Amino acid sequence: MFRTLRPAAQAEAVTITYEGRPLSVPQGISIAAALLGAGEMVCKSMPTSGADRAPYCLMGACFDCQVLVDEQPTPVQACLTPVRPGLAVRRVPRPTPVPEGVAHD
């Protein structure tokens, strides 16, 4: 989907996993940038329709890039979370596990 303009200018690569598959991505970029650069897009499935969602605004506003990382129960915004070696990224399955006391109206 996105290609790296000057691969030689990129920082060293680190390996993360997305849905269990290893991806080699530049150190220091966000999870969202890493996924898009690797041709992966889907971050979560919507609780209502089950439709897939991918990053939309990449500035922390839309929450469509929420993913699960490592064993943490609460999703993070992939556009605001940097990659690090060994990070395990998973899609947020439908229905979104919203921990009690966090959702608000």
Partner 1 sequence: MTSAPDLAIVGAGPAGLAAAIEGARLGLAVALYDEQPEPGGQIFRAAESVAAGKGAPLAAFGADYAEGPQLVARFRASPAAAGYMPRTTIWLLDRQRTLGHVQDGKARMLRPKRVLIATGAQERPVPLPGWTTPGVMTVGAAQGLMKSAGQVPEPPFALCGSGPLLYQFAAQLVAAGERRFTVLDTTPKGRWARALPFLPGALRDTDLLLKGLGLMQKVRMAGVPVLRHVRDVAVHGNGRVEHVTFRHGNHLGELPVQLLLLHQGVVPNVSLSLSVPLRHVWDAAQRCFRPALDAWGNSDVAGIAVAGDGGGIGGWQAATAQGELAALEAAHALGRIERAERDRQAAPIRARLKTALAARGLIDTLYAPPPLAALADATIVCRCEEVTAGQVRAAIAMGDTNPNAVKSRTRAGMGPCQGRMCGLTVSELVAHARGLPPDAAGTYRLRPPIKPLPVAVLADLDTSAVEEEEDAT
Distance CA 39, CA 23 (A): 10
Run of H or E including 52: strand 52-53
List of residues 6+ apart from 12 with CB closer than 8 A: 26, 27
Contacting residue, 10, 88, 90, 94, with partner 1 by CB under 8 A:
10
Q: State the distance between the two ends of the chain, measured CA to CA, in whole angstroms.
A: 36
d(CA 44, CA 67): 6
- Which one among 18, 42, 71, 91 touches partner 1, defined by CB under 8 A? 42
Applying CB under 8 A, does 68 fall inside the site for partner 1?
no
Of positions 12, 20, 22, 99, contacts partner 1 by CB under 8 A: 99
- Residue 49 touching partner 1 (CB under 8 A): yes
Give the shortest CB-36-to-partner 1 separation in angstroms.
Answer: 7
Which of 15, 17, 24, 74 contacts partner 1 by CB under 8 A? 74
